Structure 1
Amino acid sequence: MRTASGAQLDFGRLALLALMLGVGWYFWDSPALWPMKVLVVMMHESGHALAALLVGGSVERIHLAADESGSCLSRLPPGTLGQIAVYSGGYLGSAVAGAGLLLATFRFRLRRWVLGTASVWLTVMGVLYAGDSFTLFFCVGTAVVLGLGAKFLPDGVVDALNLFIAAFTALYALFDLRSDLWDSTVRARSDAALLADLTYVPAVVWAGLWSLLAIGLLAVAAYMSMHAKPRGMQMPSVTARTRRV
């Protein structure tokens, strides 16, 4: 399949993405994936934190818990729009992270930069905003693991790890939104519920909107990542032409 720009569908990438999604789905309840789930929770809380800073607020502290819950405590300036942005930042932040990982790994070939950047991000968030020892230990410990992976793992393993993190992040974001859409007990204490109290728009509407945005963003990123641009014709060097003459 070729796009209007000439990019071709890379079936190898597509198969690998499908495999990673399948592995994440099948082993969703496996204890081996617990660190991945807590990592995505950190992405969620980082989305809240970034949104708070962008609207002129400040981040007090971030808490992660072993039961895969989390919270971001921040101070916000007066105004409804800022609160809407911050409450929405968690779910959309997870989707943006998944999309960014897909593009960085396959579209832009930033293999080791992805893991290195994630390592720096976790270190900064842990040192500056960790509100308890578990959060600090998880952030710094995971940062060390990712940093070592960026330094020593082979290119193919780095690609596979980045793609799995991206696929798992996408799955987690969508599963989280599914809970807010269909589980009334979860929805009653979710970010969607906070927005419902603020705007009088039902929580299920906010969750539905976030779902559409997340799915659309991830679909566009996956589409772009699975299509490789063909290499253009390269002119021979001047020295090569001279030797032929």
Structure 2
Amino acid sequence: MDSTEATALWDRVVGTQPAPSVWLVAATGIVALAAVAPRGIWLVTRNAVTIAHEGGHGLVALLAGRRLEGIRLHSDTSGLTVSRGKPSGLGMILTAAAGYPAASLLGLGGAWLLSAGHITALLWLATALLAAMLLMIRNAYGVLTVVLSGSLFVLVSWLAGPAVQALFAYGVVWFLLLGGVRPAFELQAKRRYGGAPDSDADQLARLTNLPAVVWLVFFHVISLCALTGGGRWLLGL
């Protein structure tokens, strides 16, 4: 690749692209909702939220100075991130708290990028994050899930036209914003019936001496605020 081609590629990544009409943006939101609301479909699409969830744990663990040992993604849409370091303290608290808000915050960041017209940058950034996460996956199902997700972004980025790229990007961001809301409600329902005794909220309760319900409220506030703010950005309000 010569300097001219490299410059053109860089300009394409950091440049801006036109957004779809507000009606098409709303339509991508409806499609994303259809991928989140029905239970049967959610059992499949939730894998993408799990990638964001465990990626959030892993990224914050690294930023907090912990040693990231590996990430596992399972076919029942659960996951596990293992890091080494002090078993208590701020770093451990931040790591444990990062999972549930991760999808919503990624969606909020994506909405900001799209509101600024950086559609291509969003697609490339998502691909880079998936590639980085792949290095830490420690089981076959996790590798398959991340590779398939990354391949989809690569195919859209390189082979699809600008209109398709835009619709795909908006659909992904809507999915993260909407899909980030449901897991906290699922966790709340499980805990109501005595399930998930070692959930992130329960771990945080032991680390901070705050009731698990406080952390559930925290997860709800983050996800609902991200959906509200991100949705306004996407719709240009």
Pairwise same-fold verdict (TM > 0.5): yes
How far 1:101 sits from its partner (Å)?
2.1
From 96, 99, 122, the equivalent of 1:87 is: 96
The yes-or-no answer on 1:169 pairing with 2:176 is yes
User: What residue is the counterpart of 1:22 in the other structure?
Assistant: 33
How far 1:108 sits from its partner (Å)?
1.8
The one-letter amino acid of 1:183's match is: K
Instruction: Give matches, 1:203-242, under 5 Å.
Output: 203-227=212-236
TM-score, normalised with respect to structure 1:
0.79
The yes-or-no answer on 1:148 pairing with 2:162 is no
The CA distance in 2 between the partners of 1:165 and 1:28, in whole Å, is: 19
From 63, 68, 73, the equivalent of 2:72 is: 63
The one-letter amino acid of 2:69's match is: E
Tell me if structure 2 keeps the 8 A contact 1:119–1:143.
yes
Tell me if structure 2 keeps the 8 A contact 1:111–1:159.
yes
Q: Percent identical across equivalent pairs? A: 24
Q: Classify 1:63/1:53 alpha carbon distance in 2 versus 1 (closer, same or farther; 3 Å).
A: same
User: What residue is the counterpart of 1:12 in the other structure?
Assistant: 23
User: What residue is the counterpart of 2:132 in the other structure?
Assistant: 124
The CA distance in 1 between the partners of 2:201 and 2:51, in whole Å, is: 18
User: What residue is the counterpart of 1:193 in the other structure?
Assistant: 202
Larger radius of gyration: 1
Q: For each residue in 1:122-169, what CA deviation from the matched residue of structure 2 results, as whole angstroms up to 9, or x when unmatched?
A: 12211x211112212322232122111111112222222222222222
The one-letter amino acid of 1:216's match is: C
Counterpart secondary structure, 1:109: coil
Aligned length: 215
Cα RMSD (Å) of the superposition? Answer: 2.2
The CA distance in 2 between the partners of 1:201 and 1:186, in whole Å, is: 19
Counterpart secondary structure, 1:50: helix
How far 1:21 sits from its partner (Å)?
4.2
The one-letter amino acid of 1:119's match is: T
Tell me if structure 2 keeps the 8 A contact 1:55–1:76.
no
The CA distance in 1 between the partners of 2:228 and 2:234, in whole Å, is: 10
The one-letter amino acid of 1:75's match is: R
Tell me if structure 1 keeps the 8 A contact 2:25–2:170.
no
Tell me if structure 1 keeps the 8 A contact 2:35–2:175.
yes
The one-letter amino acid of 2:95's match is: V
How far 1:51 sits from its partner (Å)?
0.9
Unmatched 5+ residue regions in structure 2? 1-20
The one-letter amino acid of 1:197's match is: R
How far 1:199 sits from its partner (Å)?
1.8
Q: Classify 1:162/1:27 alpha carbon distance in 2 versus 1 (closer, same or farther; 3 Å).
A: farther
Unmatched 5+ residue regions in structure 1? 1-9, 229-245
Counterpart secondary structure, 1:100: helix
